[in-house]
Amino acid sequence: MQKNAWMIRAGRGGIYSEDFEKGFAAIGWSQLGDLSQYSSTESLRDEYIKIYGSDKPVATANALAMLLKFRDEIAAGDYIVS
């Protein structure tokens, strides 16, 4: 199985760097809960807009791209760089 490397920031000023050192990585938008509960991109998008709004459609699209990458592409055993 191929391992990939990903850059995930540890929060502003590295506030979560100790958690990352313990083997945890996370992204924002915690009000969405477990991302695996969304059966489609559309359902995730709808819930994102319901919670966070969509005043800036480009920002919404960027956030959704990051959420989908985190949910669908990053896998156990991959390398995380902060």
Full pLDDT tens readout for the chain, 82 residues = 789 999 988 888 988 889 888 888 888 899 999 999 999 999 999 999 999 999 999 999 999 999 999 899 998 889 988 8
Per-residue confidence (pLDDT) for residue 76, from 0 to 100: 86
Count the alpha carbons within 13 Å of 27 in the hemisphere toward its beta carbon.
Answer: 19
Per-residue confidence (pLDDT) for residue 26, from 0 to 100: 82
Q: Are 70 and 6 in contact (CB under 8 A)?
A: no
**φ/ψ (deg, to 5) at 38:** -95, 120
What is the crossing angle of helices 41-52 and 57-72, to 10°?
Answer: 130
Coil vs helix vs strand at 75: coil
Per-residue confidence (pLDDT) for residue 34, from 0 to 100: 93
